Chain A
Amino acid sequence: MLILSRKVGESLLIGDQIEVKVTEISGDRIRIGITAPKEYKIMRKELCQTMESNVAASSAPPRADLQGLWAALQAGGPGGAPKAGNPLRGGSSPAKAEPQTETEDGGPGGKPPEAP
């Protein structure tokens, strides 16, 4: 990987059509301006990786694998066929946004938080 030092306001060129300019530095964040022809798609790497991951996630896994997953995820083993509904306001609501206090059964694989 080529590594260059640049100050705010300085830029570099990639080929003769792409310019990358450091516009602002604040703490550990750097703002970058990019000038490039329209045909170049520019996106944050994590966005691109998330899209790829989403596409991979959308392909149907074999049911047998899911049964294994269920068993692995919960000591109780695979349950019956899922039913329609909203788990968010149903009997259980795992993964709440509030900070989860570390309790004896709060770790990975532990019981989900009780419904409010």
Chain B
Amino acid sequence: MTIQTRDFGRMEIQEEDVITFVSPIYGFEGFTRFVCLFDENNTHMVWLQSLDDSGLCFILADPAVVDGKYHPHIPKDLDQLLGEGERLFWLIMVVAPDFRDSTVNMKSPVVINPASCRAVQAILEEDYPIRKPLVRERGDV
């Protein structure tokens, strides 16, 4: 099916690529259906495009960019909602006017089960920052 995206115009997607949030992205409770847009050359970023509102899109970062050992515990009630399958963690990025000031929310990752195509935003009990600088602490930038 063809969808309208915020950043890339009209795009063709497959029905099986649609991800349903069974627990909402906080503050966006009415928006449950999303699709991931990505570039084959950059697996560290994903555009989480809403199907309910073409103007709504989040940019997600691979946690490995900020923490190679990030594998937090998902609260049990949310974990059950995801169903059987693996859990993929992505961090919602706040892109700053100067991209070097951009942050990711490590406290509240988006967790996706690719088998069930279900997703949640989990607020972790573990002590992770909500605004973790994405770039500043990397030595090679």
A91 x B11 contact (CB < 8 A): no
CB-CB contacts below 8 Å: A62-114 with B = 62-63, 65-66, 68-70, 72-76, 78-100, 102, 106-110, 112
Among the stretches A2-10, A12-20, A30-38, A42-50, the one at the interface with B is: A42-50
Q: Assess whether B120 is interfacial by the CB under 8 Å rule.
A: no
Q: Assess whether B77 is interfacial by the CB under 8 Å rule.
A: no
Given A53-B130, A60-B6, A108-B67, A85:B95 Cβ within 8 A = no
A79 vs B63: C-alpha distance when bound (angstroms): 20
Complex contacts, A95 vs chain B, CB 8 Å: 62-64, 70, 88-90
**Chain B residues touching A, range:** 35 or more
B17 x A84 contact (CB < 8 A): yes
A85 x B17 contact (CB < 8 A): yes
Shortest CB-to-CB span from A107 to chain B, Å, is 5
B105 x A112 contact (CB < 8 A): no
Q: Which among B41, B87, B102, B131 is the interface contact of A69 at CB below 8 angstroms?
A: B102
B58 x A58 contact (CB < 8 A): yes
Complex contacts, B70 vs chain A, CB 8 Å: 95, 100
Q: Assess whether A1 is interfacial by the CB under 8 Å rule.
A: no
Shortest CB-to-CB span from B9 to chain A, Å, is 9
Residue on B nearest A65 in the bound complex, by CB: B99
Residue on A nearest B66 in the bound complex, by CB: A108
Shortest CB-to-CB span from A74 to chain B, Å, is 5
Shortest CB-to-CB span from A71 to chain B, Å, is 9
Using CB atoms and an 8 Å cutoff, list the residues of chain A in contact with chain B.
44, 46-47, 49-58, 60-63, 65-66, 68-70, 72-76, 78-100, 102, 106-110, 112
Given A53-B131, A60-B7, list of 17 further CB < 8 A pairs?
A: A53-B94, A57-B105, A58-B58, A61-B59, A73-B61, A73-B65, A78-B42, A79-B41, A80-B39, A81-B39, A83-B11, A86-B17, A95-B63, A97-B87, A99-B69, A108-B65, A112-B64
